[in-house]
Structure 1
Amino acid sequence: MQYATITGWGKCLPPAILTNHDLATFIETSDEWIRPRTGISQRHISHVNTSELASVAAKRALAAAGLDASQIDMIILATASPDTLIPNIASTVQANIGAQCAAFDINAACCGFLYGMGLANAQIQSGQCQRVLVIGAERLSFYLDWSRRETAVLFGDGAGAVILEATDTKQGVLAYELNNDPSCREILSAGFGTKMDRFDADSLDFFIQFDGQEIFKRAIRGMGQLSKKVLEKTGTNKDDIDLVIPHQANERIIDTLVSRMKIDKSKAFINIANYGNTSAATIPIAICDALEQGRINAGDTILSCAFGAGLTSAAMLLKWGDRVTPIAESDAELPPCDSTGLELVKRAADYFLSKAQ
């Protein structure tokens, strides 16, 4: 039987940072209000398009795997904030890295990366592909109405990528579950799409909106149920889990999730303080951070889960392979940025604040 194992990984965070204190200079909030409710201290703001973030993360993942882009059979790019809808931005990344393969985008919001991992695993198990590049990348700052405190404080920009390779050894993706509950899809949404009246500028309200309390409850339930399913599917006991890498939407959601699953909080990897919610990018960025911090060891059993708009949910059980260090490092970098995070959002913030008055 073929398994799909992670052999390369890479992340890309834009250099400009917007802190909670920066946010407090133009909306009614404070670090004391944001941090206890979310766990977020800062977020990165991109000066480039989503595809550029994704391309740098992809090049770093290829280097970590010791591969050339010509060896990749498929590119799956998970994003809810692409540069363009036509063509897909997986093709932009493909051109940037020099790959010759199938390439497409998927939008499962915050679950996008795990959805992509599931699709890649199926391609490898079927024998259709030997190596698949899976990317989660977002520039969510573009979708924010900076006068709305409930969303302005939550989101950030970034990208993460992994290489999945075929192996006969029982490691990598052991099981996954994907689900969607459309009954309350309106509680987490952005109105961009062909339903907008192209002749009416007032209809162009495509900014992220959500019902925080309802999402909190449904996120814990959705991630918890699917996590239980992948453990049952593989006969894995919760005590055998070495690390939990959940979607980084809110630290209180993560705390409640692991508590209800009766998993020690010390096993939960949390990095939301530095990045905010980067949607499809949170889990691959967290994988990279966990490796850098020595939190992932050879042979570790890792549970990952996510919840997002749709309402999507996903869970995956992984067994890490033998290597926890990159084979090589890429020199890929973003173009320089001369602006601070506050400077990058100031024009949009001024516009929305004046409109709200």
Structure 2
Amino acid sequence: MTTLKQYEINRYSRILGYGAARGDVIVPNDDIVEAIDSSDEWIRQRTGIITRHRASENQSVTDLAIGAAKDALQSSGVAGEDIEAVIISTISHPYATPSLATIVADAIGSKCPAYDISAACAGFCYGIAQADALVRAGTAKNVLVIGVEKLSNFIDNTERSISFLLGDGAGAAVVGVSDEPGIAPTVWGSDGSRWGTVGMTHSLLDIRNRDFVANPVQEGEKIWPTLRQDGPSVFRWAVWEMAKVAKKALEEAGITPDELGALIPHQANARIIDQMVKTLKLPDTVAVARDIVDAGNTSAASVPLAAHRLLKENPELSGKFALQIGFGAGLAFAAQVVVLP
């Protein structure tokens, strides 16, 4: 009997390089406080954010994704035609189908498998987990993972729970074959009982049926879903539950906190980051990504954007261990220890 052929298995994978593309407009707190009846001081104290990058009307989700992809290819030294899979995490691509990933694959000169995933702020780390599995299984030698958002398309400027946090951008990474372990096992999961804690205010069917409009729609009136969150609930979940996930990721990697070179958490809130550092008892020798200060919360893009910036400002971190952790709507989460390129 003929035996089926299988791909040759690769033992290990690693991140070969990161790339980034940021919204082309810098928006300081003073530009948004009037609409939410707040102040620069309040936003800084509650979130740590001073400015955020947002994309202009002429800069699309696709533009951001392609920009980050090309930057990651350059930093990794991998040609576009050698990418054998593209995975994109986004919640802000304006089309439910076809995927954004196929557009990006074409833009870099690849006809590879390409697909989008939806895991919000955990999405990039989800993508890294999938890329690691694809490479080690021999299904793909090089995988491009992108987290990209243009959340400004969905912002209600008068909404106080989340609108002032959000920014636009794209971060990318190329995952390839390695002679040594470069990506530790991913600790990931979800809590669907908290599904409504963060997310869109209305569904596509609501828009079609206009079920959420209390009064007849006036001529020229815009009907558009926006983002909302239960801020206190999300904060408590992130502070206490995600510290447990981070500790588990360190255990799965077989390292202790003092062996880390960097912590790269989702850039949701500076106070969440500060508490995670305390809970993990990280020494001062561990570099902590704080891209949120002038980038805002970019959802799926936040972890790779923060990683890209941290490496650019601290090149000595190359070759060291970093704990990446993403968490958000779903509620979904994922964490893994990686070797920085």
CA RMSD of aligned residues (A): 1.6
Q: Which residue of 2 aligns with 1:21?
A: 30
**Farther off after superposition, 254-263 or 185-194:** 185-194
Does 1:31 find its partner at 2:48?
no
Matches within 5 A, 1:1-357: 2-47=11-56, 48-170=59-181, 172-200=182-210, 202-203=212-213, 204=223, 206-264=225-283, 267=286, 268-294=288-314, 296-321=316-341
Q: Which runs of 5+ in 1 are unaligned?
A: 322-357
Separation (CA, whole Å) in 1 of partners of 2:254 and 2:293: 34
Q: Secondary structure at the match of 2:226?
A: coil
Aligned AA (2:243) = G
TM-score normalised by structure 2 residue count: 0.89
The answer as to whether partners of 2:20 and 2:308 remain within 8 angstroms in 1 is yes
Separation (CA, whole Å) in 2 of partners of 1:245 and 1:59: 22
The answer as to whether partners of 1:54 and 1:93 remain within 8 angstroms in 2 is yes
Summarize the Cα distance change of 1:264–1:192 in structure 2 as closer, same or farther, 3 Å threshold. Answer: farther
Q: Which stretches of structure 1, 4 residues or more, deviate above 4 A after TM superposition?
A: 201-205
- How many residue pairs align between the two structures? 320
Separation (CA, whole Å) in 2 of partners of 1:176 and 1:163: 17
The answer as to whether partners of 1:12 and 1:53 remain within 8 angstroms in 2 is yes
Q: CA deviation at 1:235?
A: 2.2
The answer as to whether partners of 2:207 and 2:224 remain within 8 angstroms in 1 is no
Aligned AA (1:155) = L
Q: CA deviation at 1:320?
A: 2.7
Q: Which runs of 5+ in 2 are unaligned?
A: 1-9, 214-222
Q: CA deviation at 1:142?
A: 1.0
Separation (CA, whole Å) in 2 of partners of 1:39 and 1:80: 24
Summarize the Cα distance change of 1:121–1:192 in structure 2 as closer, same or farther, 3 Å threshold. Answer: farther
The answer as to whether partners of 1:188 and 1:209 remain within 8 angstroms in 2 is yes
Q: CA deviation at 1:205?
A: 5.2
Separation (CA, whole Å) in 2 of partners of 1:124 and 1:115: 14
CA displacement 1:146-182 (0-9 Å, x = unmatched):
1112222100000011111111223x21221111001
Q: Which residue of 2 aligns with 1:338?
A: none
Summarize the Cα distance change of 1:148–1:296 in structure 2 as closer, same or farther, 3 Å threshold. Answer: farther
The answer as to whether partners of 2:327 and 2:333 remain within 8 angstroms in 1 is yes
TM-score normalised by structure 1 residue count: 0.86
Separation (CA, whole Å) in 1 of partners of 2:325 and 2:141: 25
CA displacement 1:202-261 (0-9 Å, x = unmatched):
455521111111101111233212211122223211111121010000000011111111
Summarize the Cα distance change of 1:285–1:198 in structure 2 as closer, same or farther, 3 Å threshold. Answer: same
Q: Secondary structure at the match of 1:263?
A: coil
